[in-house]
Structure 1
Amino acid sequence: MTRHSTVFERLAPSASAVTESLRSTRSAVFWLEDAPVVSRPQLVGSHTADLTVVGGGYTGLWTAVLAKRRDPSARVVLLEAQTVGWAASGRNGGFAEASLTHGEDNGRTRWPDEYDTLERMGLENLDAIERDVAELGMDVQLERTGTLEVAYEPHQVQWLRDAEHGELLERDAVQAAIASPVYAAGLWTKDHCALVHPGRLASELARVAADLGVEIFEHSAVTGVRTRAGGVAVETGRGVVRSTQVALGTNVFRPLLRRARLSTVPVYDYVLMSEPLSDAQMADLGWRDRQGVSDLANQFHYSRLTADNRILYGGYDAVYHTGGRVRPEYEDREASYRTLASHFLTTYPQLEGLGFSHRWGGAIDTSTQFCAFHGLARRGRVAYAAGFTGLGVAATRFAAEVMLDRLAGESTPRTQLEMVRKKPLPFPPEPFAKIGIEATKWSLDRADHREGHRNLLLRTLDRLGLGFDS
C-alpha cells in the first residue's frame, strides 16, 4: 500500500506563522478562568452520611445532585482531592454527545443486539441534561447545535456517503457552512450533541448540589475506602466519613478498588484556544450554525466556537507515559501545541495572524472498550464508573443514574444493559502496556497515511475488542 501525505503535510503553513500564532499563548485553562470560583472547606474530623461521593468532576457531581433529587432527606457528602471540576471536567472541549458508546460504529460492533436501545437511552439522557439546565437555572452556555463530521481525504468522503444518519454536505455545501478549503465533505448530525461551557457546567452542578443540601469538601484526597460493619469508611488525610454507601467517580486517577486498576490508562490530550475573532473574521469564516466539528482521521481533531467567538482546537496527539503516571508537568507539551497550531492554520488559512491565548492539556481515562464501564463492589455498598475515553460530558449523568440504581438494589432498563453488566478487557501491565500503546499509535498514524487501511495489529485488536484512540 502506497504511503500518502495528509492534507496537514501537503498544505502546512510556515514555521514562522506557527511560532507567531503561539507568541502570546500562556499555559492556563480558559474554561476554569471563565467560571465562578467558590472556596469550600477541607474535610476535618469524623462525619456521617447516607452516601459518600468521591470525585468532584461531572460523575461525582451528577451523582450527588441526582441522589438528592431522588431522596431530599438523604445526607450526601462529596469529597474532591483538589477543587471542583479542576481535572477532565474543566478541561474538555464541551461536546455533550448523546452517544454512550463512543459512536455508532463502536456501539454496533460491541453490542449489536442492544445498540438501538443504547442510542435511544443516550438521546433521552441528553434531553434530560437540557431539561435539567433549564429547570435548575444553570448558566452553562448550552447550545444544541449538533456536530459536523468533516472529511479531508477522498476515502473519508466515501465514509460519509456510506453513513446512515445525518445531513450530507458535499464540498460546496460544507465550505459554505464553514469556509475551510480543506473540507471535502461533511455530515451534520443535528440532534445528537450539545455544546456547553465545561467549567461552568462543573461549577453550576456544584452550586445546585450545595443548594440541595450536599456537603462538598475540597482538598480532601481519599486515601482509603474500608468496609466496616453496617457501612463504609472513606478516609482522607485529616478526616473520615462513615456512610451506608459510596459512589466512586475518580476518573483517570488511581482507582480506590484494586479490581479496577488495569481497566483504564491515562492518555494526555492537548488544546489551544484562540483570541476572540473579529466580526470581519467571523464573516470570512461563516460557521453561522455554530456546530461542533470533528474529523474522520484516526488521529482526529475537534473544534468549536465559544460564546465570545474564540475557536477551541484540540486533539490529534494522544500521549501515554510509562506506568500510567498523571503529573502536572505532562500538561504542557510544546511539540503538541506546535502541531495543533500548524493544523489549525492549514484548516483556516484565512485566520493567519490570529493568536492563541490559552494552551492546556489533561488526562483522559481510556478503556479498552472506548466508553464507560460500571461496577458494584463491597457487597453492593460501593458503586463505580470510569473509562469514558473522552466522551463523558453527557455520559457521566447516565453513569450517575446507573450507580444510584445499583446502590438502591433496583433492576432497571439501565442496569440490565449488557454494556453496563460487562467489564472491558484490562490493559496489560508494564512494560507491555507502553509497548502495545506505542505500536497501536504508530499503526493508527500509518492508517491515516494509507487511505484508512488498518494493518494486522489494528485488525487483531478489533477482533479482540481492545481499543486505543487518539
Structure 2
Amino acid sequence: MGTRKHVVYWHETEAVTPEPPLRDAVDCDVAVVGGGYTGLWAAHFLKEAEPALDIRIVEAEYSGYGASGRADGFVTPTIGKDIQALVQEFGTRRALEASQAVGRSILEIGRFLRRNKVDAEYEANDYLMVATDAAQLRRLREDRELATTIAGREQPEILSAARAREVIGSPAVLGAMRVGGALVNPFKLARGVARVVKERGVTVYENTPVLRVLPGVRPTVVTPGGRITADKVIIAANAHQFTFAPFRNKTVPIWSYALVSEPLTDEQLGRVAWAGREGMVEAKTFLTCARFTADNRLMFAGGPALYFLGRDTRRRRMNDPRAYRALQEEFRRFFPMWGDVRFTYAYGGTVDVTRDYAPHFGQLPGGNVFYGYGFNGNGIAATHTGGKVLRDLVLGKDTEYARLLYVDDGHRRQRDFPPEPLLYVGARATTRLMEWKESRP
C-alpha cells in the first residue's frame, strides 16, 4: 500500500501563518471561543449586522485546524443525522423551515466565496445518496417520501442501479437519489472566512487555548496568557464543547477517518463513469462517502465511527489501523477497478455528537454566555445557518433564525450522556444496535 502520511490532506493545500496568541487582559463587546466554522460565521454575521462591535476570537490552534478544516467537504442540506426524529419532535412545518434555511446556506456560501474572492474550490454539483443493499434502498424510499411530505412537492426520483451507475460507475450501487449540494475544500473555506472577518476588524488570537469561561454579567474568557472580559461570550468549540463544564455530558467526540489518494491519471479516471464529479454518500448512519478533490485525488472517508474511553481526542488516535483497514475494504467493494490507486494520506478527526443527533443553540442561564454545537458531522452548511442563529440570539432579536428548531427553549431540553464507564459501554452498544437495525431488509 506504500507509505501514508498521517496528516490532514486539506491542511497541505494552503500555507498558514498563525495569528499571535493572547498575551494581555482585554475588553470587548463579543468574545468567541473557537475559530472553526460556527465561531467564524457568527463573527461574520455579527460584524455585518453591527459593524462597530469589537469582536475577539480565541482559537487553541489556528482557524480551520479542527473539525472544520478536516471535514470531507460535502456542503449538504442535512440537519444533524435523523430528519425523521426531527419531524416527529417538531412537526413538518418547523422541519421545513430549518431545512430551507440550511438549503439557502448552500447557495449563500457560494456567493460569499465569489464576492470575497475566496478560492475554496467550490463545486455546485450535488451529491448522490446511494444504496448498496435492500435496507438502504428502503431508507432511500422513506427519506424521499418524508422529503416530499416536508416540502409539499415531489422530490427527485430514485434511480435504478443501471441509471445510478451511469452517474457514478460503482458495481456496489443498487440505486441512488440525487440531492442538492456542493463540494468544497473545507480548510480553504475556513481560512477564507477567517481572512474576511479579520479584514472587517475582528481580532483573532491563535495558539490560545481557553482554560475556562467565568460566567457573570460580563463573562470572562481565561487563557494561559491573558483573559478577555466581554459583554457577551459565544462558546463554539465543536468536538471540544464537552471540555466546558455546562456541556460536559451534552456531547461526545466521535472519530471519523479518511483516505486520500495521489492524483488519478486520465487512464484511471476513464475506468469509472463519474463525469459530473458529484459527491457520493452511502445511505446509512455510519456512512461511507467518496469524492474528487480539485486536483483529481480520490477521497474515500467515513467507515467505523470510533469512540475512545474518556472522550480521548489525542492525536495518536488518528493512526488507528482498524479504521483504515475498514475503509480499504469498503473501497475495494465500491471500486474494484481501481486496484492500483494508491492512498497517500490517512487521517482522522473528531465530530461532536449529541443524544438527539441534532444541533443545539441557546443561552446559558444566569449570564451572557451563548452556545452553538452538535452538527454530528454535517456542519458545513448548517454552521453557516447557525452563525445567523447566534447573531440574532446575541443581539436579542426575535427573528426566524432565533426561532428555528436549532434553538433550545422551554419546549426543547438537552439530553445528557451518562458518565464513564457507562458512556463507553453505551457508545459501543449503540453502534452495534444501529448497524443491526440498518442491516434489516
Separation in 2, partners of 1:321, 1:252: 13
Does residue 81 (structure 1) correspond to residue 57 (structure 2)? The answer is no
| Residue type of the alignment partner of 1:221 | P
Does residue 121 (structure 1) correspond to residue 76 (structure 2)? The answer is no
| Residue type of the alignment partner of 2:238 | N
Separation in 1, partners of 2:286, 2:244: 32
Residue of structure 1 equivalent to 2:328: 341
| Cα distance, 1:413 vs structure 2 | 1.3
Separation in 1, partners of 2:367, 2:402: 13
Contact 2:56 2:202 survives alignment (8 Å): yes
Does residue 108 (structure 1) correspond to residue 96 (structure 2)? The answer is no
Give aligned-pair identity as a percent. 29
Contact 1:146 1:188 survives alignment (8 Å): yes
Residues 37 and 105 of structure 1: CA distance in aligned 2, closer, same or farther (over 3 Å): same
Q: Which stretch has the larger CA shift, 311-320 or 257-266?
A: 257-266
| Cα distance, 1:156 vs structure 2 | 2.5
Does residue 248 (structure 1) correspond to residue 235 (structure 2)? The answer is yes
SS at match of 2:229: strand
Residue of structure 1 equivalent to 2:305: 318
Residue of structure 2 equivalent to 1:391: 378
Contact 2:64 2:190 survives alignment (8 Å): yes
Residues 100 and 296 of structure 1: CA distance in aligned 2, closer, same or farther (over 3 Å): closer
Q: Return the match for 1:406 from 373, 393, 398.
A: 393
Does residue 214 (structure 1) correspond to residue 194 (structure 2)? The answer is no
Residues 305 and 45 of structure 1: CA distance in aligned 2, closer, same or farther (over 3 Å): same
| Cα distance, 1:256 vs structure 2 | 5.9
| Residue type of the alignment partner of 2:334 | T
Does residue 182 (structure 1) correspond to residue 172 (structure 2)? The answer is yes
Does residue 427 (structure 1) correspond to residue 417 (structure 2)? The answer is yes
Alignment of 1:55-94 (within 5 A): 55-94=34-73
Alignment of 1:273-284 (within 5 A): 273-284=260-271
Q: Return the match for 1:137 from 108, 117, 121.
A: 117
| Residue type of the alignment partner of 1:147 | Y
Contact 1:24 1:355 survives alignment (8 Å): no
| Cα distance, 1:297 vs structure 2 | 3.1
| Residue type of the alignment partner of 2:105 | N
Contact 1:160 1:186 survives alignment (8 Å): yes
Separation in 1, partners of 2:322, 2:78: 31
Contact 2:260 2:299 survives alignment (8 Å): yes
SS at match of 1:60: helix
Separation in 2, partners of 1:404, 1:154: 44
Separation in 2, partners of 1:110, 1:358: 41
Separation in 2, partners of 1:57, 1:400: 11
Separation in 1, partners of 2:86, 2:437: 21
Residue of structure 2 equivalent to 1:446: 436
**Residue by residue, what CA displacement relative to the aligned partner does 1:165-208 show, whole Å, maximum 9, x if unpaired?**
3342211111111111111111112x3x1111011011111111
| Residue type of the alignment partner of 1:45 | D
| Cα distance, 1:374 vs structure 2 | 1.0
Q: Which stretch has the larger CA shift, 111-120 or 312-321?
A: 111-120
SS at match of 2:211: strand
| Cα distance, 1:333 vs structure 2 | 0.8
Contact 1:371 1:391 survives alignment (8 Å): no
Residue of structure 1 equivalent to 2:131: 151
Residues 437 and 226 of structure 1: CA distance in aligned 2, closer, same or farther (over 3 Å): same
What residue ranges of structure 1 are gaps of 5+ in the alignment? 1-19, 452-470
Contact 1:373 1:423 survives alignment (8 Å): no
**What is the TM-score with the length of structure 2 in the denominator?**
0.92
Does residue 202 (structure 1) correspond to residue 182 (structure 2)? The answer is no
Residues 161 and 247 of structure 1: CA distance in aligned 2, closer, same or farther (over 3 Å): closer
Does residue 40 (structure 1) correspond to residue 19 (structure 2)? The answer is yes
Contact 1:227 1:378 survives alignment (8 Å): no
Separation in 2, partners of 1:115, 1:371: 12
| Cα distance, 1:259 vs structure 2 | 2.6
| Residue type of the alignment partner of 1:389 | N
Separation in 2, partners of 1:180, 1:49: 54
SS at match of 1:252: helix
Residue of structure 2 equivalent to 1:455: none
Alignment of 1:252-401 (within 5 A): 252-255=239-242, 257-377=244-364, 379=366, 381-401=368-388
| Residue type of the alignment partner of 1:215 | T
**Residue by residue, what CA displacement relative to the aligned partner does 1:82-134 show, whole Å, maximum 9, x if unpaired?**
11111101111011112334354343233224112122222122222222122
Contact 2:98 2:405 survives alignment (8 Å): no
| Cα distance, 1:63 vs structure 2 | 1.3
**Residue by residue, what CA displacement relative to the aligned partner does 1:137-160 show, whole Å, maximum 9, x if unpaired?**
211111111120111113323443
**What is the TM-score with the length of structure 1 in the denominator?**
0.87
Separation in 1, partners of 2:36, 2:406: 22
| Residue type of the alignment partner of 1:218 | E
Separation in 1, partners of 2:201, 2:433: 50
Residues 414 and 139 of structure 1: CA distance in aligned 2, closer, same or farther (over 3 Å): same
**Residue by residue, what CA displacement relative to the aligned partner does 1:359-407 show, whole Å, maximum 9, x if unpaired?**
1011110001112111202545111011111011111122121112111
Size of the aligned set, in residue pairs, is: 427
Separation in 2, partners of 1:290, 1:144: 10
| Cα distance, 1:416 vs structure 2 | 2.0
